[in-house]
Amino acid sequence: MAASLQDILNSHHTGRPAVMGVLNITPDSFSDGGEFFDAGTAAEHAAAMAREGADIIDIGAESTRPGSARVSPGEQIARLGSSVAAAAGTGSLVSIDTSSSVVAACALEQGASIINDISAGRDDPEMFALAAERGCGLVLMHMRGEPATMQRDPDYRDVVAEVRSFLAQRIAAAMAAGVKAAQIIVDPGIGFGKRLEHNLALLRGLAALCDLGRPVLVGASRKRFIGELTNTPAASARTLGSVAAALYAYAGGATILRVHDVSATCQALAVWRSLENPAGF
């Protein structure tokens, strides 16, 4: 059975993994750009991911791949059309991947229950007030710089400590604006202003982020570091590497896994969890 919002927000206590399936309604996403750009195809893909076991469908109308340009709130809303309502009708939860409070408010009206803000409330000063008022889930993600510039020679002294301290600060800022701790999910932002070694260090160091006391979301699926490690240039051919990264992240404490390949990830998690919990069998 698909998880409730409360299940997701408590998943760091229960250890129940939640699979978040990606639905990009964009012409240019690195992983699946253009594939789901019309309303009918988007709704079908949402329904397919729900059937495959997605607890959450994460809908975005702005690509955030390195070098991508911004998309205005009006254009994001136009691209979304009725896809949030269609995805909410599948029985999965819906998260809206946007840094704009106007787009987020529109998606919440249509049935979304989580705001996935890759800017962690830095792009739009109204975002925290909206999340506070609506009591929805709120993903705060780490990003160095902006998508347009973030891969220009990113450097850290201690990437895990710096990401942890950034997320702690953003939790404090959200709470100062009235968001409850219990609404918040944190995310190290794999691939956002990070080189290969930074991504690997963060995946190895998830315990430090779990220590913030909130569920940890990891989005490693099809990302460039998997291509670099395996010499797989085509993002769509990175499923097996993505599943390995998702399992490793789950074993390291992440309970929300943002993935393109829902069925493969759910199958891998089912086997992993059965092996981990002999009492259940």
Nearest-CA neighbor of 174 among 229, 133, 234?
A: 133
Is residue 151 involved in binding ligand HH2 (CB under 6 A)? no
Report d(CA 85, CA 30) in Å as an integer: 25
Report d(CA 52, CA 21) in Å as an integer: 10
Asked about 194 being catalytic, the answer comes back as no
Of 11, 64, 76, 99, which lies in the binding site for ligand HH2, with binding defined by CB under 6 A?
64
97 forms beta bridges with 60, 116
Report d(CA 247, CA 278) in Å as an integer: 18
Of 11, 18, 29, 179, which lies in the binding site for ligand HH2, with binding defined by CB under 6 A?
29
Report d(CA 93, CA 112) in Å as an integer: 7
Is residue 118 involved in binding ligand HH2 (CB under 6 A)? yes
**Candidate list 65, 144, 214, 223, residue with the active-site label:** 223
Is residue 31 involved in binding ligand HH2 (CB under 6 A)? yes
Of 219, 241, 253, 261, which lies in the binding site for ligand HH2, with binding defined by CB under 6 A?
219
Stretch that binds ligand HH2, among 29-37, 79-87, 244-252, 266-274 (CB under 6 A): 29-37
CA angle 70, 72, 77 (to 5 degrees): 125
Of 24, 83, 151, 239, which lies in the binding site for ligand HH2, with binding defined by CB under 6 A?
24
Residue whose CB is less far from ligand HH2, 236 or 277: 236
Which 121-150 residues touch ligand HH2, going by CB under 6 A?
139, 141
Round the CA-based radius of gyration of the chain to a whole number and report it.
Answer: 17
Q: Quote the longest CA-to-CA distance of the chain.
A: 52
Is residue 60 involved in binding ligand HH2 (CB under 6 A)? yes
Contact 256, 216 (CB under 8 A): yes
Of 18, 83, 94, 187, which lies in the binding site for ligand HH2, with binding defined by CB under 6 A?
187
Size of the site for ligand HH2 (CB under 6 A): 21
Contact 259, 32 (CB under 8 A): no
Contact 63, 24 (CB under 8 A): yes
CB of 280 to ligand HH2, least distance (A): 30
Residue whose CB is less far from ligand HH2, 64 or 183: 64
Local structure of residue 144 (DSSP, 8 states): S
Asked about 79 being catalytic, the answer comes back as no
Report d(CA 181, CA 200) in Å as an integer: 28
Contact 30, 67 (CB under 8 A): no
Is residue 258 involved in binding ligand HH2 (CB under 6 A)? yes
Is residue 26 involved in binding ligand HH2 (CB under 6 A)? yes
Helix (H) or strand (E) holding 226: helix 224-230
Is residue 11 involved in binding ligand HH2 (CB under 6 A)? no
User: Among all residues, whose Cβ is closest to ligand HH2?
Assistant: 219
Is residue 65 involved in binding ligand HH2 (CB under 6 A)? yes
Binding site for ligand HH2 (CB under 6 A): 22, 24, 26, 29-31, 60, 63-65, 97, 116, 118, 139, 141, 187, 189-190, 217, 219, 258
Residues classed as catalytic: 223, 258
